[in-house]
Each structure stands twice: as C-alpha cells, then as structure tokens.
C-alpha cells in the first residue's frame, strides 16, 4: 500500500502488538519469510521491504457480513440507495446524503496509487480503503488513532486523519474513552459489539487471561484456607456456610445460658484437676453409697435389717 513497497521498522513497531507480531519480529520475520520480506538501510533507518519481485496485490477485502437470503420481502434489494448504520446512530439529512453520494463513487483500490489529478473525494475514498485494510489485519479489528498517524506519509492519508474517521461513521467508530482515542472497524462487529470472526490468537489470549485469573483466585483461596476440592460445587459451599452459621447461633445461645446462670445453682463444672488416685475415687463412691442408703432407710423405703443395696 506504500509507493516504495517499504515501511520503516520504527513505524511498524507501533502496530506490531495489534497485528499479532512477536516482540522480536525484527530478528525473526525476515529469516522466516525470506521470499516475502527483506531489510534495507535508508536515510530514516532500517526499513521492511517486500522482496523483489513483489507479490501480486491481494484482492479487495470481502465484507464481513454475509448477504441475507432474499426469501423475505424485507431482505430483497432496495430500489433506492441505502446506508447501513450501526444501531442507535442517527445522522443529519445533509450528512446522510453526503455519505450516500460518497459511496456512489467508483471503488478505489488501496494497493494501487491514484492517477495524477484525482479529486479530493477519490483521495479520501482510497484513504478510507487503506484504513479499512489496516484495521482488518489487526487481531481485534481496532487500533489507536495515534498509531495510524505515523503512516500518513507512507499510506497517503490526510493530515486531518481523525476528522476523516469521524466523518465516516458507517465505516469506523472512534472511541474517545481514555487518554488516547481508538478506532474500530464497524463491519467486523455485530449489533451487540462482538466480533463476527474471532482470530485464533485472540481466542488463545483470552483463554490464557482466564487461566491466570483462575490461578490468582485459587492462590487467594488457599491463603485464606477456603480452597474447595475438585468435586465440590458452589451449592455445597453454600450449604456448609449455612451449617456453620447455625452452629454458631447454637453456641452463642449455650454461652448465654452459662453467663446468665439460668442452668441452676446445682450445676457444677467438672474439669481435669490432675490425675487423682484410685483410693480417693473409691472413698468418694463409698460415701455416696452410704448417703443414699441412709436416706432410703429414713424414708422407710427399705427394711433396715435386710441387705442394703446401693441404688
């Protein structure tokens, strides 16, 4: 897409993470693909250049959305120009008419330079096609606007690139969240904001982030002693928590009984007072037996002359 079929390596480094290139692409890209790329020395530093002879230009980027079947009346081709906008976007009549006229112009290939004396509208149409191709090559179909501004001279983009992106909401969505604005390729997302076609690298990265978060969660649970077994479920954890709460309530009620003294004055705490001898235990049992026997004789429950058995 550049006139000289080359790009400075320092500029490619800005888009390298978005394009899915490795951190060491300077040292591995050309050796792995010698039939496509080569390094050259220029006045601006090292540059990445297409091999000689350059490969033929690829075909234009096909649309991400497949054409709907024309079985229904609403899906039939319209007899008037139609501008596909994302849900919830409303444009003024003059802006809508300009976009309809803009898309009625002839197609401009992003891989071929324009003829001398081309109109400003055709220059902007080719610039939109170039940005569309660059965003389609990224992993997440988005990048920072600042990264695109580095390629204005190489790709023939206008100086007011941000204004051009905002002027075409049917193609691009500019997010102003954060300190640096991002641009998204609208046709690569559905109405709910999800990618229509997910890149394999993006799927693998999301899976890796999920595993990292799971590992952090397990380490935090292990430190707190709350790490569940592999066969446990969330429902089992909830039931265990409810049982612990019930036991805590019962223990609290029992503690109140001891504190208030509602058990009775006859309650005696029995504790370990050391190891008592067997003689002391036998003397205590004999004293208790004698007490109950005398009490039974006094009440006339048993005959004093008969054999007295302990109750």
**DSSP code at position 189:** B
Q: Has residue 310 got a pLDDT over 70?
A: no
The reply to whether 96 and 154 lie within a common domain is: yes
What token pair was written down for 53? 């002879």
Q: Has residue 89 got a pLDDT over 50?
A: yes
Query: Is the pTM value of this prediction over 0.75?
Result: no
> In angstroms, rounded to a whole number, what is the distance separating the alpha carbons of residues 174 and 182?
6
Question: Mean per-residue pLDDT for 244-257?
Answer: 51
pLDDT in tens, 103-115: 999 888 888 888 8
The reply to whether 161 and 145 lie within a common domain is: yes
The last residue of a domain, from among 207, 231, 255: 231
Which phi-psi region, left, alpha or beta, contains residue 28 (left: φ > 0; alpha: ψ -120 to 50)? alpha
- Could you tell me the residue range of the domain that residue 8 belongs to? 1-55
User: Residue 201: what pLDDT?
Assistant: 87
Q: Would 78 be classed as within a structural domain?
A: no
Q: Has residue 288 got a pLDDT over 80?
A: no
Which phi-psi region, left, alpha or beta, contains residue 75 (left: φ > 0; alpha: ψ -120 to 50)? alpha
Q: Has residue 61 got a pLDDT over 60?
A: yes
Mean pLDDT over the full length of the chain: 78
pLDDT in tens, 158-213: 999 999 999 999 999 999 888 899 999 999 998 888 888 888 888 888 899 999 99
Q: What is the total count of domains within the chain? A: 3
Q: Would 117 be classed as within a structural domain?
A: yes
For 22, phi then psi, to 5°, come to -70, 160
> In angstroms, rounded to a whole number, what is the distance separating the alpha carbons of residues 111 and 129?
9
User: Residue 101: what pLDDT?
Assistant: 92
> In angstroms, rounded to a whole number, what is the distance separating the alpha carbons of residues 104 and 98?
10
Please report where in the chains the tokens 């079985």 appear, as a residue: 71
């Amino acid at each position: 897409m550049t006139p000289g079929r080359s790009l400075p390596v320092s500029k490619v480094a800005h888009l390298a993470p978005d394009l899915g290139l490795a951190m060491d692409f300077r040292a591995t890209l050309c050796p792995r693909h010698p039939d496509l790329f080569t390094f050259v020395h220029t006045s601006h530093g090292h540059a990445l250049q297409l091999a000689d002879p350059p490969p033929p230009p690829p075909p234009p980027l096909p649309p991400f959305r497949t054409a709907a079947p024309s079985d229904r009346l609403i899906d039939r081709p319209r007899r008037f120009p139609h501008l596909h906008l994302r849900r919830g976007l409303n444009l003024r009549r003059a802006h809508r008419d300009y976009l309809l006229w803009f898309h009625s112009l002839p197609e401009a290939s992003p891989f071929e330079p324009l003829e001398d004396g081309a109109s400003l509208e055709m220059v902007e149409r080719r610039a939109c096609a170039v940005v569309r191709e660059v965003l389609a090559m990224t992993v997440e179909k988005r990048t920072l606007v600042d990264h695109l501004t580095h390629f204005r001279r190489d790709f023939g983009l206008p100086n007011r690139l941000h204004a051009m992106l905002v002027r075409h909401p049917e193609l691009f969505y500019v997010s102003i969240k954060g300190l640096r604005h991002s641009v998204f390729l609208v046709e690569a997302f559905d109405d709910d904001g999800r990618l229509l076609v997910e890149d394999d690298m993006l799927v693998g990265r999301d899976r890796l982030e999920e595993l990292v978060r799971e590992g952090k969660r397990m380490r935090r649970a292990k430190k707190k002693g709350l790490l569940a077994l592999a066969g446990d479920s969330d429902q089992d954890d909830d039931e265990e928590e409810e049982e612990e709460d019930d036991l805590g309530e019962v223990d609290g009620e029992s503690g109140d009984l001891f504190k208030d003294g509602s058990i009775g004055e006859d309650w005696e705490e029995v504790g370990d007072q050391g190891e008592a001898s067997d003689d002391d235990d036998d003397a205590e049992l004999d004293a208790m037996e004698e007490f109950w026997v005398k009490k039974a004789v006094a009440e006339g429950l048993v005959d004093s002359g008969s054999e007295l058995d302990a109750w």
